Structure 1
Amino acid sequence: MIRFHSLEPRFVVAVPQALEPGVLYVSMEYGTVVHSCCCGCGAEVVTPLTPTDWHLSYDGEAISLRPSVGNWNLPCRSHYVISRNQVIESGSWSQERVEAEQRRDRRAKAAYYQSMNTGGAESSQGQIAASPPRVAAPDQQSWLRRLWRDWSKLW
């Protein structure tokens, strides 16, 4: 059962040792997103941002993280989607389904990284189609423009 139904995104260079529940820590420098499990168990959940792991989207206000977060190695086995800062509980998976997804994930990673060693992702595109897209970094230029616009209104 989900205890935290929304998360506050916080862009950081390094993730703090003590995680605040309900906060989604995003480190673009380290390509990772970390949060305390949304079920309330307190476990640290790390989602690496790579071409074969999770994909982050940020529109200047809200964050979405794809694919879903399945905490299959934690006692709680919570499963949820983070969409526009909201936590949406997803159904539980059987152990067979978890293992099948882990096998698919390993194949997708192997295909992706093999293609990087042999001249490009084009050769394995069909094999990794189910993998998440590349990381989308926050648009800092538009963020800076908004900051400058708002700041200049004060003067």
Structure 2
Amino acid sequence: MLHARLEHRFTSLIPDNLEPGILYISMEYATAAHGCCCGCGEEVVTPFTPTDWRIDFDGETVSLSPSVGSWTLRCRSHYIIKRGKVIKAGAWSDDQVETERRRERDAKQRYYGQINTAPPYFHSAPPEVPEKRNSFIVRFRDWLGL
């Protein structure tokens, strides 16, 4: 790994040009981005969601979990960011990558599928409209027979 540490920077927006060795964190957009730690220059984006990454800030350092696996990049880097340190993790085979992608898809389906499991609300028939009633004066005249 070219970068053994990442300095964190909290920001509203992720800049267009990422400085090497900086982990940009946007809480507003629930995402982090950094240049790949191998030094290849590719941008790595890690969204914070219940099924993707999570960030831990201890007041001084940042940890990102789970590991960062850049399987779509040519470098295929794999590392962990723990308390600002970059820890190289082992390379994964294509089978391991595919297994993890399946696990991620299943996790998303379980999580997001549970949110909207109720059938959409609709009436099988149009709602009943109350019968229009005549005004009091019209009903009173009818009662009087006028």
Partner of 2:75: 76
Alignment-derived partner of residue 100 in structure 1: 99
Code of the aligned partner of 1:88 = I
Deviation per CA, 1:127-147, whole angstroms, max 9, x where unpaired?
xxxxxxxxxxxxxxxxxxxxx
Q: How many residues of Structure 1 are paired with residues of Structure 2 in the alignment?
A: 118
Instruction: Name which structure has the greater RCO, CA cutoff 8 Å, separation 6+.
Output: 1
In 1, the alpha carbon distance for the partners of 2:25 and 2:92 equals 27
Please state whether the residue corresponding to 2:44 is helix, strand or coil.
strand
The answer as to 2:26 corresponding to 1:27 is: yes
1:52 alignment counterpart = 51
Matches within 5 A, 1:1-155: 2-118=1-117
**Secondary structure class of the residue paired with 2:114:** helix
What percentage of residue pairs aligned between the two structures are identical? 58
Question: Of the two, which has the highest radius of gyration?
Answer: 2
More helix by share: 1
2:68 alignment partner, SS class? strand
Cα distance, 1:115 vs. partner?
1.0
- TM-score, length-normalised on structure 1? 0.75
Question: 1:11 is aligned with what amino acid?
Answer: F
Separation in 2, partners of 1:39, 1:67: 18
CA drift at 1:19: 0.5
4+ runs deviating over 3 angstroms: none
For 2:17 and 2:104, the matched residues in 1 are separated by 30
Q: Which runs of 5+ in 2 are unaligned?
A: 119-146
Structure 2: how far apart are the matches of 1:108 and 1:75? 26
